[in-house]
Amino acid sequence: MPRDNELLDNWWDEAYSGPMSFMRFKFSQDLDKADIAVLGVPYDLGTTNRPGARFGPRAMREQSTLTGEFEYGLWPWDYHIAEHHTVIDYGDICEFVGYPERMVEVLEKTTSKIIDSDTVCFAMGGDHFISLPLLRAHVKKHGPVALVHFDAHSDTWVDEDYNHGTMFYHAIKEGLLDIEHSIHVGLRTPNPENHGIEIIFADELDEMKASEVSERIRNRVGDAKTYLTFDIDFLDPAYAPGTGTPVSGGPTVMMGRKILKGLAGLNFVGGDLVEIAPAYDPIGNVTAVAGATLGGDILYLLSEALRR
């Protein structure tokens, strides 16, 4: 299907010109017409090490003008999402400068507004702490969700502080997660307490084929309502140096993409991609190029789930 300028904004611009919406989907807040909304959350006060993920949404949008330019869709997906669904770029929420608590409130409220109008939400971070208010909103609508979590870290540290290393502990404590169907993928940092969540550590993952990893995730998740969260530091710092807490010994972008593609058809109700801090890229926006591509893959997974 040729691109429809009702669905896509300024797609005819060259990659280096025109408005920077995510993958050239139209900037809009008209939720009545949208199936999927992309939401930027430029918040990084939850970081425990290097800040800078507030520049993540803009960097992803900028690099996605290239990944989103093909009318045939994002390779190797063999169609364009716009053939099936109306995707909008909802813009950023940013009404919280100097008031972290306000971010939690505004993000949960905005997410609820989006998903209560039967629009699926894909959020771009920002640091990983944003997943907590996102989960709260999704659970209010769907009940506890299975978590498919790509990351070098479990983010389940038993700690009453609220930051980007503890939010899934709080999510567990608040009863937001369907633990039996949840899984961490790619961990390579100490994890003294697994809270009952299945783990594929990075060394084990390195011995597996992407299809085997996907299969293991599918077996764990089954048909549960699932939230997908992707910390860019899942990737090796060779592919994603521009992030807050990089950990060596991770997978390639290709491995990540193949694993994601192998999850098509799972019952995803929402997702996010977080922790791109472009200032730490040595050159060429390498982390945001990976993030824009993987973010595109996640949009396809959400679109596939809507078509179930």
47, 53 in Cβ contact below 8 A? yes
Which of 231/297 has CB closer to Mn ion?
231
The nearer residue to Mn ion, 153 or 258, going by C-beta atoms, is 153
Q: CB of 281: closest distance to Mn ion in angstroms? A: 17
Smallest separation (angstroms) from Mn ion to the CB of 27: 29
Select 277 or 305, whichever has its Cβ closest to Mn ion.
277
CB of 164 to Mn ion, least distance (A): 7
Q: Which residues of 174-203 are buried (b: 16+ CB within 10 A; e: fewer)?
A: eebbbbebbbbbbbbeebeeebebbebebe
Cα–Cα separations (whole angstroms), residue 142 to 118, 145, 161, 176: 11, 7, 26, 10
Query: Which residues are at the interface with Mn ion (CB under 5 A)?
Result: 151-153, 231, 233
Q: Which CB atom, from 108 or from 231, has the smaller least distance to Mn ion?
A: 231
Least separation in angstroms between CB 245 and Mn ion: 6
Q: Which is nearer to Mn ion, 62 or 231 (CB)?
A: 231
Q: Which residues contact 142 (CB under 8 A, 6 or more apart)?
A: 225, 269
Angle, nearest 10°, between helix axes 253-261 and 210-221?
A: 40
